[in-house]
Structure 1
């Protein structure tokens, strides 16, 4: 069978780009018989490497489920999930855990920082646990990118919400994962702090070559992405390249007219 890496997607300039993650005919179902509910219904998706992808859709559309399946946090009922050239749907728990640790980064609404550690220690904690050597040059570049140079010795309770989320972003970037998934990463922040974090995510793509996938309901947040994927009723129904907040908002108003994609 052809692997996901040999099935590149088309970039905004019409060229072919590498695929960091992919789903093929993905079905996620809950329950059985008459109570069976399809959260994802035969979804095919490519996530371009070195790009910022946003996933949007109404409540219950399957957007978080899709992200969790692509990230190996949830299993699929049918179909295949690829991370790079590795199909992950058949991996045993131990190998899947190792893949998530070594190749995937996560940023969520909850900052998940340890209160007894300072910012620097929280950033390097996953690598310390894994017994991986910290690349100090790369770490310095990440810290500079997210603007934490003067806050590394501060503990979480000495940082604002935006600064704590920057620590979480730096923690995800520092391990140099192939792909970072964010589930509403600015959802607990005010508009100013959220904009700061989104700028840092954008910079990490433009300056560090990172691949980011973000689930969001916010048109402004989505406007930082290169590409927006729209889900409805568990299916991908539309996409937008080089989005603006106004265009995203207008598209969201017309979900009912998208129809179902076969």
Structure 2
């Protein structure tokens, strides 16, 4: 049975990624905007978590900080046992390439490369050979085995996004961060992609953290973290479309 109660947020031990006292301020002086205000939150390994909240609640700022794409003003982010703020720029670049996967609205595929070459590009950049069994499994889960020789222009939007997901998975990352991954897709392709992300968690043991504004997308997750005014406002376990809508209404979204 689905739970619709709002839970108090907690920081779990052994999480895939955790933030402690995370604060992000854009600008200075009178123009300063507090995007994140002393946030404590964690994301469990092998789980699918959606981040939701009203416009300007800090969703994207939180994702960018915990994914190592932006520096926090204060606080700490830990990927497993690694504190991101303690890393040099070069070390952070290597960590993002080898331990984090990214899926965004824009597919960011290289147009001159085939789907297969786009998928294995992160491994080539790292000087690593693909694990063929893992690659074949990822390709099978995403249903793109017959599209590997095609270039992006020869693929539909949904197929391009699946290639982008395969690229994010191929390095066996600690976490996949997805920022509005269905935003550029039609409703059918969007639902297919969300089902694939769900399978990546269930069948590949992957950890997925997704920012979305769509209650139907969030209903694919195991948990929803709710943000409001740069702070964690609560959580939903086993979300449904109705429970997410009710929670967002409670936040004034």
Please report the TM-score for the alignment, with normalisation by the length of structure 1. 0.91
Q: Is the 8 A contact 1:118 1:152 kept in 2?
A: yes
User: 1:246: which partner in 2?
Assistant: 242
Counterpart CA distance in 1 for 2:141 and 2:31 is 48
Q: Is the 8 A contact 1:8 1:18 kept in 2?
A: no
CA-based RMSD of the aligned residues comes to: 1.3
Alignment of 1:184-195 (within 5 A): 184-195=180-191
Which has the bigger relative contact order, CA under 8 A and spacing at least 6? Answer: 2
Runs ≥4 residues deviating over 3 A: none
User: 1:12: which partner in 2?
Assistant: none
User: 1:3: which partner in 2?
Assistant: none
- What is the deviation of 1:66? 0.2
Q: Is the 8 A contact 1:184 1:215 kept in 2?
A: yes
Give the match's secondary structure for 1:150: helix
5+ residue gaps in structure 1?
Answer: 1-6, 10-16, 258-262
Length, aligned pairs only: 244
User: 1:127: which partner in 2?
Assistant: 123
Superposed CA offset, 1:175-204 (max 9, x none): 100100000011000110000100000000
5+ residue gaps in structure 2?
Answer: 1-9
Give the match's secondary structure for 1:187: coil
1:31 correspondence with 2:27: yes
Superposed CA offset, 1:135-189 (max 9, x none): 0000000000000111111111111100000000011011100100000011000
Q: Is the 8 A contact 1:172 1:180 kept in 2?
A: yes
Give the match's secondary structure for 1:188: coil
Alignment of 1:18-167 (within 5 A): 18-167=14-163
Q: Is the 8 A contact 2:48 2:201 kept in 1?
A: yes
- What is the deviation of 1:8? 6.7
